[in-house]
Structure 1
Amino acid sequence: MIASLRPGFDIPENALEESIPTSLIREIIDGKPYYFKGYPEVLAGNKDAEGVMGCSTLQAFIVTFLVRVLLRSIDENQYFIATNEPGLHIDRKNNLVSDFMVFDYNILTIDQINLNYAQVPPAMCIEVDTRVELQDATESEYVTLKTMKLLEFGVAKVLWFFTETKKVMIATPGSWTTFDWNHEVVLMPGALCNIGQYLRRKGSKYA
């Protein structure tokens, strides 16, 4: 997944740093590039680019569980679950990526499903951990900024699952809530999940 080759991935010239390949950009917010977590290891020659673009098995395990919960519950004639880190092109200075998004077919119509990033808001964005290198911002600042951008664009709900703190953050316009992931989470009407409970049932030490 190379940023410079992603159709619809618009990179403002003033966002580029000549010493860092554009292939290491995960997303751009307000014209500022956010690079894949671990990218300094690539620049140092200790890893190849693909080595920092993937997710951990725990992150993949949780994402797969969440997608499966949604697939059992939503109307597939109304909603499209976009996986494989779909991109969202808000404007020239904002190209965002989530672990997966849920689109309403009334908003993302079939003629808009093409080789580019989506340019309409999904009903929901879900993230498992932050996947960017944070050097001049805290994780909280980054999460807040990205979540605000998504909500301002028209996303109805943004969910973050944090594996290190075992927390869930749910943001909707006018309401932001953070709680322990051992509580039931409503993804969408009829789609409920409890990450902590699921991991315990599977025997994971990360429950």
Structure 2
Amino acid sequence: MSLIISKNKKLLKELIYEEVNGKPIYYKNYKLVIKGKKALEEVKMSSPIQSKIVSLILYFLISRIDKSRYEILSHEIGVRTKLGKRAIDIGIFEKIEVNKFIEKSSILPICPIIAIEIDTKAQLKEDEYMNYIYDKANDLLNSGTEKVIWILTKPKIILIAQKEKSWEIKKWNDDIEVMENIKFNLNRLLKEEI
């Protein structure tokens, strides 16, 4: 019996997506993993459209960003915020700062200057979705991030949050400024790839 409890505790720990105020936020559908109806890897996976968007934005940014100043990290990079630990799909960091921690930390003690999110993998009730986005974006902004760009695949909108500015809601066919002189248009990126 204690072996089963021990295995379940270990599994529950692996099912934590983020941690805020000392409380875990689990991966979407984590209960199905505990019941043995899904594999752990299944709940951690991105959908094909999410993966494609991440890839396209990475290709776009890598071809335009000043690589001597900035480092782009992706794949649910863990960062420590004022409220806990968060996972970021794509983060643009000051290279000189992030390189101090790349090989030393499993979770970065600094936040990116720009965070780009595509949907979320968090287990949320339907009415908690926008609150989660609002809370996470504010947590990042209060922890040093200058801009959060959140791409939602359903509905097809992009939220842009910046400290001390009103949030903006854009469409996928709008130009989105990541940094000065670096803008992408998600619809155009998707069409150029087809």
Both structures adopt the same fold (TM-score exceeding 0.5) = yes
Q: Which amino acid aligns with 1:147?
A: A
TM-superposed CA distance for 1:19, in Å, is 9.8
**Aligned residue for 1:150?**
140
Task: Quote the Cα distance in structure 1 between the aligned partners of 2:156 and 2:127.
Answer: 21
Give the 3-state SS of the residue equivalent to 2:138 in structure 1.
helix
Give the 3-state SS of the residue equivalent to 1:84 in structure 2.
strand
Give the 3-state SS of the residue equivalent to 2:19 in structure 1.
strand
Task: Quote the Cα distance in structure 2 between the aligned partners of 1:76 and 1:54.
Answer: 29
Find the partner of 2:130 among 120, 128, 140.
140
Q: CA RMSD in A?
A: 2.0
- Looking at secondary structure, tell me which structure has more helix per residue: 2
Pair 1:80 & 2:80 matched: no
Give the 3-state SS of the residue equivalent to 1:111 in structure 2.
coil
Unmatched tracts of structure 2, length 5 or more: 1-7
TM-superposed CA distance for 1:165, in Å, is 0.5
Give percent identity, aligned residues only: 28
Task: Quote the Cα distance in structure 2 between the aligned partners of 1:57 and 1:96.
Answer: 22
TM-superposed CA distance for 1:199, in Å, is 2.5
Task: Quote the Cα distance in structure 2 between the aligned partners of 1:76 and 1:107.
Answer: 13
Stretches of 4+ moved more than 3 A in 1? 17-20, 200-203
Task: Quote the Cα distance in structure 2 between the aligned partners of 1:18 and 1:139.
Answer: 27
Give the 3-state SS of the residue equivalent to 1:85 in structure 2.
strand
- Deviation sequence 1:170-198 (CA, Å, 0-9, x none): 11111211121111111122322111233
Task: Give the TM-score normalised by structure 2.
Answer: 0.88
Write out aligned runs for 1:1-207 (5 A).
21-90=12-81, 94-108=84-98, 110-113=99-102, 114-135=104-125, 138-175=128-165, 176-203=167-194
Give the 3-state SS of the residue equivalent to 1:52 in structure 2.
helix
Unmatched tracts of structure 1, length 5 or more: 1-16
Conserved in 2, the CA contact under 8 Å of 1:84 and 1:100?
yes
Q: How many residues align?
A: 185
Conserved in 1, the CA contact under 8 Å of 2:56 and 2:190?
no
- Looking at secondary structure, tell me which structure has more strand per residue: 2
